[in-house]
């Protein structure tokens, strides 16, 4: 298969339409970042047709050659890492430093290389005189990837890398809030990949709906809100598509009474405020025993005061704006409702609504009712409710009572006790003395209405493959 040549112009120039297109503005400054082309449903149909036509040839390429292509794509990303990080910071708002833009681009490289190293071998299920059964893992065909605006590059890679590794072709529909980041990512990847194995289709909701319903798309991979996920599931039902759905979360963290507040404060803070709280598997509600409550609150305030928020391209900042105005309003409304309920604001909670950019100050909320809206509804922004408990069983009950269950965490010093509490939590992943610590080798997915299917590692490869048993 022929690999495309790499153009020499800047990425932003290469991905923008010659004229027209929809303007994308920096959520930190309001400045114009660039323009994105808007594909139509007809364009989507053409893209799927190209991907379908190319897929058998890509599937016929050896596993080793596909691994080499992913590694070459990783090298191409490394060569453009700073340019990609700057574009990501301008479009999404996240700072260059901290667990943000440069981190995200680096994670894309790591995930490509890790996925290239995984090999899904046939499994001998039965081998005896009566017969032999071998389970093989075949490509599905065309995978439709629908991504979010919070980690637009990294989550796209989570969808793209395993799909390509297993011989599928991929059609990507990026979020309308952050299309430029994903278009630039795919522009770079395609300098190392054969033509038409990976195609981007930026566009409105009708394009995403058609992708979900398209009869020639074998699987949909979606990361985003539970509400949108339910709509996609319904749309895809008529063609009985395979699906991986990583949906909304409202992750609970439980601090045990033997924890060391000062030692854990930094990790708890960044578990909650990574990407300024705009992460599906961020810590979004923290349960703290009465005996440690004041110490934990004080330690978290200290970390917050030392974590500057501002324009992403300014090197000192590690927290940025909320990516878009609707999400900013959700955060503002939830914090306002907490204030009205009598909760105590430890820091933040007083946004300047006339300021440039969608900045919401880092906010810690104490003395809050465990069933207040800021606790029970996903804020997806820089606000953390800290709930006091006196009975551990009650805290576990509170942690488990919501309809979403993506991640959770337990914080303490006794390994046996933290393991016991972790086993009682309902979630796709539970971390001990950390939160959101994903690894490309370790399966990741949700429970309850946080979705189904898993990503990463060998298990993730199986999710983008058709099991095929041959028995003789």
How many other C-beta atoms lie within 10 A of the C-beta of residue 434? 16
Pairwise CA distance, residues 255 & 258, whole Å: 8
Q: First and final CA of the chain: distance in angstroms? A: 35
Is 108 part of the annotated catalytic residue set?
Answer: no
The residue from 187, 280, 378, 455 that is catalytic is 280
* H or E stretch covering 158: helix 152-165
* H or E stretch covering 423: helix 415-424
| DSSP states along 330-378 | HHHHHHHHHHHTT-EEEE-----TTSSS-----EEEES--TTSHHHHS-
Token pair listed for 135:
């389970």
Is 298 part of the annotated catalytic residue set?
Answer: no
Pairwise CA distance, residues 359 & 356, whole Å: 8
The beta-carbon contacts of 452-456 under 8 Å, at least 24 apart in sequence, are 452/243, 452/244, 452/245, 453/243, 453/244, 453/245, 453/246, 454/244, 454/428, 455/158, 455/159, 455/162, 455/244, 455/246, 456/158
* H or E stretch covering 471: strand 465-471
How many other C-beta atoms lie within 10 A of the C-beta of residue 142? 26
User: Rg of the chain over CA atoms, in angstroms?
Assistant: 23
Residues facing residue 24 across a β-bridge: 34
The residue from 91, 104, 187, 246 that is catalytic is 246
Token pair listed for 311:
């324009």
Residues annotated catalytic, as ranges:
246, 280
């Amino acid at each position: 298969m022929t690999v495309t040549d790499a153009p020499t112009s800047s990425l932003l120039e290469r991905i923008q339409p010659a004229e027209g297109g929809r303007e994308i503005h920096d959520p930190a400054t309001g400045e114009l970042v660039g323009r994105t082309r808007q594909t139509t449903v007809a364009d989507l149909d053409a893209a799927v047709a190209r991907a379908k036509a190319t897929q058998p040839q890509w599937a016929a390429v050896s596993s080793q050659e596909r691994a080499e292509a992913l590694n070459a794509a990783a090298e191409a990303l490394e060569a453009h890492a700073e340019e990609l990080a700057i574009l990501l910071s301008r479009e999404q708002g996240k700072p260059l430093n901290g667990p943000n833009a440069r981190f995200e681009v680096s994670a894309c490289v790591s995930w490509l290389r890790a996925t290239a190293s995984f090999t899904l071998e046939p499994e001998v299920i039965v081998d005896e005189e009566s017969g032999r059964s071998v389970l093989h893992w075949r490509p599905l065909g065309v995978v439709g990837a629908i991504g979010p605006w919070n980690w637009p590059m990294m989550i796209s890679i989570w969808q793209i890398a395993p799909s390509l590794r297993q011989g599928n072709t991929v059609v990507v529909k990026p979020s309308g809030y952050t299309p430029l980041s994903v278009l630039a990512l795919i522009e770079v990847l395609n300098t190392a990949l054969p033509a038409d194995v990976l195609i981007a289709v930026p566009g409105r909701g009708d394009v995403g709906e058609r992708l979900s319903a398209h009869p020639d798309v074998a699987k949909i991979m979606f990361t985003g809100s539970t509400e949108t996920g339910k709509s996609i599931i319904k749309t895809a039902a008529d063609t009985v598509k395979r699906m991986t759905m990583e949906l909304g979360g409202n992750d609970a963290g439980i601090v045990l009474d033997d924890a060391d507040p000062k030692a854990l404060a930094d990790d708890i803070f960044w578990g909650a405020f990574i990407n300024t709280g705009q992460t599906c598997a961020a810590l979004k509600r923290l349960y703290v025993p009465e005996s440690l409550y004041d110490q934990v609150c004080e330690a978290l305030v200290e970390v917050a005061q030392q974590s500057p928020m501002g324009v992403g391209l300014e090197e000192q900042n590690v927290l940025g704006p909320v990516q878009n105005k609707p999400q900013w309003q959700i955060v503002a409304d939830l914090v306002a409702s907490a204030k009205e309920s009598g909760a105590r604001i430890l820091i933040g909670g007083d946004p300047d609504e006339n300021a440039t950019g969608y900045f919401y100050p880092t906010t810690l909320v104490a003395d809050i009712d465990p069933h207040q809206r800021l606790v029970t509804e996903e804020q997806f922004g820089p606000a953390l409710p800290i709930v006091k408990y006196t009975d551990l069983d009650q805290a576990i009950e509170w942690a488990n009572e919501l309809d979403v269950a993506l991640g959770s965490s337990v914080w303490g010093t006794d390994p046996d006790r933290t393991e016991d509490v972790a086993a009682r939590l309902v979630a796709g992943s539970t971390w001990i003395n950390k939160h959101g610590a994903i690894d490309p080798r370790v399966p990741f997915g949700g429970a309850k209405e946080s979705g189904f299917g898993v990503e990463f590692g060998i298990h993730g490869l199986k999710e983008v493959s058709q099991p095929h048993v041959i028995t003789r």
